[in-house]
Every structure is written in C-alpha cells, then in structure tokens.
Amino acid sequence: MPTLHVLRVFCGPGGQCGNQLGVVLDGPAVAAGQDRQAVAARLGFSETVFVDDAGTGVVDIHTPSVRLPFAGHPLVGTSWLLSRRHASPALLHPPAGPVPTWQEGEFTWIRGRAQWAPDRLMQQYASAEEICALPGPPPGEGWLYAWAWQDQAAGRVRTRGFPRRGDGIIEDEATGASAIVLTAELRRALNITQGKGSQILTRPGPDDTVEVGGRVTLEETRTL
C-alpha cells in the first residue's frame, strides 16, 4: 500500500497552525483520474498531491472535488518533503507549467503566476479585526480571499480564504495561490497571517511572477 505523508504548510513561528496537506510520494501506485479524485475526497484535505516522478518533480494536485493545474501550499509542501526524501528538486511540474523551488533557511519557496489561479476574488476589509470576526464564508460563490492591512507600511496583511466550492472545505487555513494573486494585485512583498495563525511570505519575482514561501512540518506518516 502507498504511504501517505501528512504535512502542515505555511506554519506560523514555532510551527503552529499551517494548512494540512496529503502527499503520496508513490503516485503511480494510485491510478490517475477517478481513483485519485476518490482518494482526495476520502482524505478530505483541502489538497492532496500525487508525485508521479520524484526525480523530475511531476505532480498531480486534487481537492476533494476537482483537479488543480496549480496550487501554492501543495507545491511548497511537496518541495519540502522531496528535499528530505530525495535530491532537492529545482523545478516542480504541475499541469500549469514548471515551478522553480528552493530553500531559504526554514522557509521553502516556489515561484508561480497569478493567472494560474484564475477566478479568485480579492475582497478588502477595513481592518484585521473585521477579518477575524467573519463567522464563515460571506454569501456568494467562487473562491474568496478576504484581506485587510495590519500594517500597510510594513506589508503586513491579515487574511482568510473561503473556497466556496461546496465540497466540504469551508475555510482554507493557508493558501499560496490566493497569496500570489493578492501580491500580483498589490505589486509588493507581503507578510501574511491567514486563518488561525499561519504565515505566508510573498514577493514579486521576475517576468511578472510571484514568489511565495513558508515553513513546513511533518504531522504524520501512515498507510494510504
């Protein structure tokens, strides 16, 4: 049976919080298509990654309901795990395209494009307190990233993420793709606190890309 690694990605200082992620390093052991989608739905994480080729960084990303061409916290987490189980990859290859990845101290970084995460609404609120007080997803459909400045001069932002897909993921604790979109819109480096206390760092990259980084920890390893 394949092994499942459960990570937490974009942890806060000290390793608290972070968004859970399932990673199956032996992706070929799980048939592509409906079988993988069924596994992702059963696990119930916001995303599950199947690594099809660890050497070349080919990966397949699924939510409980859809296959994704690109996602931030799955790629950051998978890069961190591969760097500890195999030779550190310089590139990951999700369907969207090649994604550079590297380590800087305790942070794992990737570089992506805002257009790889389309149809995400960035909704600004007046204060971080309003973000924290949201009882749940605001009415509406489609991915919503609620954000407010904590300290605009310092680039500190408070956010919460609501997929609003109807697949059981009510709130995403930490999402790199939405952080990339927000950074592309604001055109500046950000230090983001999301959810209950996850931390995401971002900065504009070359050629209209955005770099996103965070801490990763291994929560458990079990049989899939």
pLDDT tens for 108-117 read 999 999 999 9
Task: Tell me, yes or no, if the two domains 3-98+216-223 and 116-211 fold the same way.
Answer: yes
53 DSSP β-pair partners: 58
pLDDT of residue 176 exceeding 90:
yes
- For 3-98+216-223, CATH number? 3.10.310.10
Q: What is the mean pLDDT of the chain?
A: 95
Evaluate whether 57 touches 38 at the Cβ level (below 8 Å).
no
The CA-based dihedral angle spanning residues 87, 79, 2, 49, taken in that order and rounded to the nearest 10 degrees: -150
Extents of the domains making up the chain: 3-98+216-223, 116-211
So what's the pLDDT on residue 167? 86
This prediction has a pTM of 0.96
- DSSP strand pairing (190-194 vs 156-162): parallel
Convert the pLDDT of each residue in 69-100 to its tens digit: 999 999 999 999 999 987 778 999 999 999 99
Which CATH topology does 116-211 take? Diaminopimelate Epimerase; Chain A, domain 1 (3.10.310)
Q: What helix, strand, coil percent values describe the chain, rounded to 5?
A: 25, 40, 35
So what's the pLDDT on residue 56? 93
- How far is it, in rounded angstroms, from Cα 51 to Cα 74? 11
Distances (CA, A) of 192 to 29, 41, 72, 159, 166: 36, 28, 14, 7, 26
